[in-house]
Amino acid sequence: MSGSGIASSHIEAVIRERLNSTHVQVDDISGGCGQAFEVIVVSPLFTGKNVLMRHRLVNAALKEEISAIHAFTQKDYTPEEWEKKQQQ
């Protein structure tokens, strides 16, 4: 983490480690200051969970990081959902 924000690479590493993710995409939408992020997370942990439950899993995994930034949006998919989305 840098002094003014969080690096997208740090968020990606945390998601991969804590959520057993098969695909992670982190976009810093703050112009590079590390204060606003959009993420896509693909994890088998999301299987059988609705959107709210998935968001809660990600939010819990990134609790410390989210508290240090201004904006965080996420799209969460199971591997099967992600595969179908890529074929569209």
pLDDT in tens, 27-59: 999 988 889 999 999 999 999 999 999 999 999
Q: What is the pTM of this model?
A: 0.90
Report pLDDT digits (tens) over 54-77: 999 999 999 999 999 999 999 999
Domain positions in the chain: 8-87
- H or E stretch including 75? strand 71-77
Contact between 42 and 33 under an 8 Å Cβ cutoff? The reply is no
Topology of domain 8-87, CATH: GMP Synthetase; Chain A, domain 3 (3.30.300)
Residue 36, token pair as written in the block = 């606003």
